[in-house]
Amino acid sequence: MIGKALVAASLKPLMLSVLSHGEAYGYEIIARIEHLSGGKLSWTAGTLYPVLHRLESEGLVESFWRPSESGPRRKYYRLTRKGEQALASEKDQWMDVHALLLKLWSPDFSFGDS
């Protein structure tokens, strides 16, 4: 399982990234993340929706209702232009951290090199 702090930190970039592949509703987002992570990352609705709503109030995503064939209508979310920019910035930051960790973890790395 992934630690609480990292779950919290990765919420925003993960949601934006899922939505960058097209609009989705809340359950769909949780299901995709759970599937992709092989069950290591599993959000509750109580965690997901408030964050989605906050992103919406910040103008990074927008929402709309759409009728569903299998029951009542669903609320869909999609990325806005501002959300795309936010994602790009998030991506850079994650990649920087990622690159750093990779460097540090590479077997032949030592501080004497650079």
Partner 1 sequence: MRTNAFDLEKAIAAWRNSFAHTRSFSADDLEELERHLRDQTAALVRSGLSEEAAYRQAQLKIGDFGSTETEYRKVRLGKLKQKHILSETLLWYQHMLATYLKLALRTMAKNKLASFINLAGLSVAIGCSLVAFLFIDFFYNRDTFHENASSIYAVHSMYQTGNDVQEWASSPLPLGPMLADAMPAITNMARIVDGSAVMHVGDQVFTESIRFVDPAFLEMFSFPLAHGRPSALYDAQAIVLSAQLAQKYFGDTDPVGQSIDLRLSNGTDVTFTVAAVAAPFPDRASFWFHALLPFDQLRALGLDFDDWQQNTRTTFIQVDAYTALPEIERQLATALPAQHLADPDRPIESFRLESLVSLARKASSIRDNITFLTMDPAQAINMAFSGLFLLLLACFNYINIAVVTATRRLREVGIRKVVGSNRVQLVVQFLGEHILLCTFALLCGTALGHFFFAPGFNALFPVFNLSLDLTESTLAWFYMAGILLFTALAGGLYPALFVSQFRPLSLLRNQLLQGGKQRFTKTLLVFQFALAFFAISNSFVYFDNQEFQRNRGWGYTQSHRLVIPLTDAQQFTLLDNELRMLPGIAQTSGSVHHIGRSRDRATVTVEDEPYEVAAYRVGQDYLETMAVRAQAGRFFDEAYPSDTQQAVIINAAFAKRLGWSEPVGQFLRIGSTSLQVIGVVEDFMTNPMRASDPALFRLAPDQEARILLAELAPGEALATATAVEQIWRTNFPDLPYTGYFQDTILDAFYNVMDNLATVSLFSSFISLLITCMGIFGLISLTLSKRLKEFSIRKVLGATPKNILYLLNKGFIVILLIALFFAIPMSYFMLDVTMGALFSEYTPMHVAPFVWSTLILIVTACLTISSVWRKATRTNPAVILRQE
Residues forming contacts to partner 1 in the complex (CB under 8 A) are 25-28, 31, 42, 44-47, 49-51, 53-54, 57, 68, 70-75
Residue (78 or 91) nearer to partner 1, CB: 78
Q: How far is the CB of 49 from partner 1 (least distance, A)?
A: 7
Q: How far is the CB of 76 from partner 1 (least distance, A)?
A: 10
Residue (7 or 91) nearer to partner 1, CB: 7
Q: What is the 3-class SS of the chain, one letter each residue?
A: CCCHHHHHHHHHHHHHHHHHCCCEEHHHHHHHHHHHCCCCCCCCHHHHHHHHHHHHHCCCEEEEEEEECCEEEEEEEEECHHHHHHHHHHHHHHHHHHHHHHHHHCCCCCCCCC
Q: How far is the CB of 45 from partner 1 (least distance, A)?
A: 4
